Structure 1
Amino acid sequence: MYKLLIVDDEASVVEGLAHTIPWEHVGIDEVHKAYSGFEALEILQTQPVDIMISDIKMPRMSGLELIEITRTRWKKLKTILLSGHAEFAYAREAISLGTSEYLLKPVSDEVVLAKVGKAVESLRLERESDETYNRAVQAFRANLPQMRSEFLNQLLQGMNSPEDVWTKKLELLEMSSAICSEAALMLVRMEDRLTEMSPYDSSIMEYAIGNMADEIFGDRFRLWRCRDIHGYLVFFVFDSHDPKEERPPDTAPEYELKHNASQLQMNVSRYLKGTISVLIGRRGRFPEDVRKLYQDSLLALRRHIGSHSDMFVYAADEEELHPVRSLQKCYEPPLLHHLLESGSWELVRDKLEQILKELSLAHSQSQEHVTEAFFFIYSSLSAYAHKNGRSLSDYLGASLADVTGLSQCTNAATLGKWVNQVLPLLEQSAERATRSDRSAAVSRMKRFIRDHLSEDISLQAIADHMYMHPVHVSRLFKMETGSNLSDYVLRLKMERAAEMLADHSLKNFEIALKLGYQNPNYFIRVFKKYYSVTPQEYRNNLEAGKP
């Protein structure tokens, strides 16, 4: 879908085109409206726009001037000029500026829709043949193994998403065949001299072991691997053959899996001169069982291998390894302290609700789990406060921040009550700080504008002064004041012009120059549009005592 911008100083034209034409029929899903060239530039700075329809005759900035600016800044923008003037000079200049179409008023909705549809088709063809797009596709293909590894690592850490999100992500990674498939988990721990290598050499060794595993398992299995946070190589092993197909005992999946894993261990020792321990864990469905399979395998590795090396363990047949389960929601991404740092308060609330719900449902009778949850939350809040240059008691007060008696973690209910007390205090304090910073930034913008009112002030000049991106400057000003930055600059210039007109020693052209207008006639047009009278008429009214 594409974005359209309609620019005309006649509001009826803009509203008519925006709301009466079925733009969705030609692939337009969003229509922006601007009533001047300056407002159009502000929208282009802050919104993605693909096609622009602009009137030629507009005050302050003509359509041709607007297109001349957009041609250098937004090279892929398709433009359509709309005008009531049939002079060939306009059309010729429009064509020289790279305009897609030139339409004469009055024009039917069907013609406008057809021309925009033609521009959409042109954009679609360009996008398909765009070298940048092709390079991006090639880069995606080259980095596909790394992206698969990163995604699998996220699954190991407990990342949760709706089923449709899983499906789309796995399709993008060309791993859709893994959805709902059964897989076994295999852990490989590099040991002895392999742990003493430099990061570069270690990465090469991991790559070599991975390739070796692909060769050994490739005839019967499909592998998906990554390196986890402990430095272990984690393999999910999918059976490539039909599970209903009958096979001799020595070719059964479990037999071949153990045989291949043992072969991998021997080959690493023989060809790479290194030592590894291998553990084969349980089977489960992908991706919903990934987190549990991984946690069980880590526990089995600690219990059966520990600090020993060159070990091979088949733990798939063991009984349940976790008589006591740890809190899952605390340690699943996104982590609480990351959400606090990003200022995502709604997500922070959701995360805390998930932790408290798990605690009340699965561990309500466990004082240790309640204490674990409390200190996890408390440490996250403390880290957030310290990174903002304050103590937690500054945010919460001494009583709520005190952990001497641990009264906050008597049980799940008291912990929930404490969380419901401290979170609003933290959020309110953060919001006050944000509003203060935002207000201070806008005050700096206004001061800069007032100090440079005699110049042709642009959004880029203000952004450079603030060391910000123009898009952020525009949005920040609108968020804080409720008005557009260009409207504020115009209002100040016009108010200053009205003050100067009371001084009879100043000529109109002098006032124009003092306000940054190099063309006095243009200043007169802008003033008349703002006050509905010319500067001279305004001055005459002042002399006559008229308001």
Structure 2
Amino acid sequence: MWKLMIADDEPRIRNGLRKTLPWSEMGIEVVAEAENGKEALETAALICPDLMFVDINMPFMNGLELIEKLQAQNPDCLVIVISGHDEFAYAQQAVRLNVFDYLLKPVQKTELSAAVNKALEVLMKDRVELKHTQWMNHKLEFNALTMREEFLSKWITGQLTKEQFEEEWPFFQLHFHGQTSLLLLKPLSKVSVSAPNKIWDPSLLEFAIKNILNEMLPQLPVSAVFSVGKGRIAALTQISKLTVLRAIYQDFERTVMNYLGVSLLLSHAVVEQFEQVPASYEQLHQELLRESVLTPIVMMTKKYLETYYYKEDLSLSEVAEQMNVNATYLSKLLKRDLGKSFVDCLTDIRIKKAIQHLNDPTSKIYEIAQKVGYQSQHYFSHTFKKMTGVSPLEYRKRGEY
């Protein structure tokens, strides 16, 4: 229904206009009345009428002043002046204000009907044009995003020459500079853990994961999320602070599990030069391939360790219970698939996490030890040196992180 508002200081006139035509049959609803210009302007701001009948001679603010202010407030509203003034100066000013029509009191029913029907034709045409414009803009935006995804996917997988990249890159206005993060991920299963009977359609699952990631990354300077091959999603992000980025990725992984019930296989790298991204992608891709051939229990065990590595008392029996398997059986699977014991797997993850924390010069060594599951700084330093060949302090001084 189109919204009509009547502004006139005479109740008799307002009542007559309300009853003159079968408004509902014409697809119009009389939504408001006003007895002065000031009230009319305030009411119009709240209800945004499509069509408005305005008298010129009203208290507090005359009709011409009202129309001028209304144009700035609601330029799409069509105004029909219904006035008792037959002076040329009023009509001339009304024309200047782009009034749709100017009718004289007492207005004839046929005259009012003709004016309103003409206004409805214009309103309908404008609405159709607006919808078409919105549709076109949506299509252009969608096609632009699709083209960008296709471009990034081809580039990262080495399907573009250097010349093709340099020629097309400026069109997508992705102004990366400095350190760039590359995240590569793949859903571990189409089956929801939180709802075992729910099986995700692969394309819908991919769409949902990309949406969640896109919602979390805009807080960073520049980012791009796109599909790469079957079931893989990549995210490029300009790094402002690595600790912030890692926190976002951890939050993203938790959100996917909580809302979609699906675990993710994640691989992440940082490149100093943007041109190094394709080479880094290939390394991450190979890493994902190696991970994806692991048995589901081993894969889920790794994910569990990567999530709860900070727990000091994390044990094989606890993890086995979470995986619903016998501890001895889980230990054998880890040794067979990874060539490592449970303790070695956990230590590897803790030391890798510690190296990430060493990137933050404000973190004390004892704080890092506690963050990665070691109550004793001495034991942490001993383990770190055994794994890397240097102590945490020496590692930080060398700048090898």
TM-score range, shorter chain: 0.3 to 0.5
TM-score in terms of structure 1 length: 0.31
Q: Structure 2 length as normaliser, TM-score? A: 0.40
